[in-house]
Structure 1
Amino acid sequence: MLGAIGLDEGQESAYRALVALGAAEVPDLAHRLTLPVPATERALRHLERQGLAAQSSARPGRWVAAPPGVALGALLTQQRHELEQAELAAVLLAEEYRAEATEPAVHDLVEVVTGASAVAHRFVQLQLGAVEEVCALVTGRPQVVAGPDNDAEDRASGRGVAYRVVIEREVLTEPEGLRETQGALGRGEQVRVVPRVPTKLVIADRTLAMVPLTGRNAEPAALVVHASGLLESLLGLFEAVWRESLPLRLGTGGSVTESETAPDETDLEILSLLLAGMTDASVAKHLELGLRTVQRRVKGLMELSGVTTRLQLGWHAYERGWVAR
């Protein structure tokens, strides 16, 4: 918890122990921390430099903890000041960069990132730097960053960054695909489905994009594209796929209710998943319903709509506004 002010785990444990004891000899403290005496002495020396501990003037070899309210408060104030200075420096550097980059050279408009670690870092950095919107085309079987590891998406969404994501149908058949998609919808992201996306793509604030350069069996590499005609083409590609994709509707669980006059929440989930290309069996498994229940509900929707085929049901669902265009 105190790593933000420069303490590692051993130093924090030593300070907490000193606070609990009030004062202690080095051997006693080392025994309490189950650390070697030299390591305990190094931790205490670091705490002394931070103003968190001091040697007793009355009893040499005995260490006393500084009051947390005073000592930690001073360190936190210093950290805030340093952070403010860093933020100011970032603003000044950004202004200098904009001034120098009003007419960037052609070779500065794109950058090549190679290696799984570098690509993953740039992918996370791009999302964390977004302020307004992130647009993405997502394929199955990610090479570098899997859905559960993409905590940058959670953090960006938490800051109010809007997400528009198009996933290819294969994602919904993967073990974690539906769960991750459901989580994205729960965060307020807009998610749509197409049979296949032309390429992986992520665009932040319409000013920076990232696309893969290599196939599945090669070393990961990506192209980062800055504001340029190429970026405009990538934006056009995303918007074209977005227009042709199908909005996905997934519920958050809960009781299943029946309705004779209008489709209920479960009916609409079934419709959305079927229109996304899932089979009756896959829909039943995801919604934890019986296969016959899914088929009975589809039949009920067809009777409610007055149609005889599922193709007609899909058209009717659009016309009635049961699923978004």
Structure 2
Amino acid sequence: MLGVIGLDARQESAYRTLVALGAAEVTDLAHRLALPETDTERTLRRLERNGLAAQSSAGADRWVAAPPGAALGALLTQHRHELEQAELAAALLAEEYRAEAAETAVHDLIEVVTGASAVTRRFLQLQLSATAEVCALVAGRAVGVPDAEGEGAGLGARNGVVHRVVVGREVLAQPCGITELSAALGREEQVRVVERVPTRLVVADRRTAMVPLSVRGSQPAALVVHESGLLESLVGLFEAVWREALPLRLGADDTLSEEGAPGPDATDLEVLSLLLAGMTDTSVAKQLDLGLRTVQRRVRGLMELAGVTTRLQLGWRAYEKGWVARGAGGRPVHGGDALPDGTGGGRPAPGGDGER
């Protein structure tokens, strides 16, 4: 916890122990820290240089802790000043970069980043630099933008930054897919699902984008695209996929139907959302850790609640009743698709049974 002010784990442990004891001999402190006496004394010397410890007047081998309020307060003030200076330097560099970017050469509009660690680091920089919005097309992992080898870094919503994520349908079938998507929705990320994303992509503030390069036999690589016609095309690609994707709804609160009667509960809405995303009854049961008959019984209950007899009708009524989200302009997203009949097909199940 004190690493932010320059203390390593050993120094923090020694200081905490010394504060708890008030004063201690080097031998006693070394025993408590499970360290050799030479390492303990070296650690105490470093604490002394930071103003956190001092030798006692009772003897050279006895040390006392400096009052945390004053000692740590001084270190915090020092590091706060250093951070302010770093922020100022960063702002000046950013301004210089923007001025230079106004006359950026064509060949500088695209960066090629190679190496797994470099790709991951550049992705994190891109994500953290966003101040308004992060948009992503994701395949392979539930939350994140995978690099050229399919590994990804997680997207984490931050205050004031909107996250819109479209995931490929294969994500729903992964062991931790639903769990990760639920966590993303809990962070107020907007998540939608499509059958297959055309490419992995992340766009920060519509000013910078990153797409992976997959070259057989080579090390992982990615393209970083700056403001240009190509960036506008990538933004347009994301928006096109976003419009056609199905909003995902998991773990929602209980709702009321139009007539004021109790509506579907949270589990019903999870089942419905996954079915609308194209999963079969068996897959839904596995992902939600429910029995197959439980899923089918809930589907029948939803059909009774909606007053319909087929799963195709249930899909439409779910949109009409507001149980699931609608697309732009009030158009049901994938509203013409039938709910899977539980066997992998898209045909409506006659009679609303869901069992064959």
TM exceeding 0.5: yes
- Asked if 2 retains the 8 angstrom alpha-carbon contact of 1:261 and 1:304, the reply is no
d(CA) in 1 for partners of 2:237, 2:177: 24
Q: Deviations over 1:98-135 (max 9, x none)?
A: 11211211122111111111111112222122111111
* Secondary structure at the counterpart of residue 183 of structure 1: helix
d(CA) in 2 for partners of 1:210, 1:263: 42
Match of 2:39 in 1: 39
Match of 2:285 in 1: 284
Match of 1:186 in 2: 186
Deviation of residue 38 (structure 1)? 1.9
Deviation of residue 268 (structure 1)? 3.3
Q: Structure 1 residues 31, 282: CA separation in 2 closer, same or farther (over 3 Å shift)?
A: same
RMSD value over aligned CA atoms? 2.5
Match of 2:78 in 1: 78
Pick which of 245-254 and 45-54 moved more.
245-254
- Asked if 2 retains the 8 angstrom alpha-carbon contact of 1:250 and 1:272, the reply is yes
Amino acid at match of 1:126: L
Amino acid at match of 1:105: A
Amino acid at match of 2:270: E
Amino acid at match of 2:169: R
**Are 2:16 and 1:30 aligned?**
no
Match of 1:293 in 2: 294
d(CA) in 1 for partners of 2:207, 2:160: 18
Deviation of residue 312 (structure 1)? 3.7
Please state which structure has a larger fraction of its residues in helix. 1
Match of 1:310 in 2: 311
Match of 1:94 in 2: 94
Q: Percent identity?
A: 74
Pick which of 96-105 and 10-19 moved more.
10-19
Match of 2:56 in 1: 56
d(CA) in 2 for partners of 1:16, 1:261: 59
Pick which of 79-88 and 314-323 moved more.
314-323
Deviation of residue 267 (structure 1)? 3.6
d(CA) in 1 for partners of 2:92, 2:130: 19
d(CA) in 2 for partners of 1:260, 1:66: 65
Q: Deviations over 1:162-218 (max 9, x none)?
A: 111111110000001111111111111111111100000011111111100016875
- Asked if 2 retains the 8 angstrom alpha-carbon contact of 1:18 and 1:65, the reply is yes
**Are 2:109 and 1:105 aligned?**
no
- Asked if 1 retains the 8 angstrom alpha-carbon contact of 2:173 and 2:287, the reply is no
Match of 1:223 in 2: 223
Pick which of 118-127 and 260-269 moved more.
260-269
Instruction: Give aligned pairs, total.
Output: 315
Q: Deviations over 1:65-113 (max 9, x none)?
A: 2222211111111111111111111111111111121121112211111
Deviation of residue 299 (structure 1)? 3.6
Unmatched segments (≥5 aa) in structure 2: 327-356
Deviation of residue 252 (structure 1)? 5.5
d(CA) in 1 for partners of 2:195, 2:32: 61
Match of 1:133 in 2: 133
Amino acid at match of 1:196: R
**Are 2:232 and 1:232 aligned?**
yes
Amino acid at match of 2:122: R
* Secondary structure at the counterpart of residue 20 of structure 2: helix
Q: Relative contact order, CA 8 A, sep 6+: which one is greater?
A: 1
Q: Structure 1 residues 237, 38: CA separation in 2 closer, same or farther (over 3 Å shift)?
A: same
Unmatched segments (≥5 aa) in structure 1: none
d(CA) in 1 for partners of 2:180, 2:238: 21
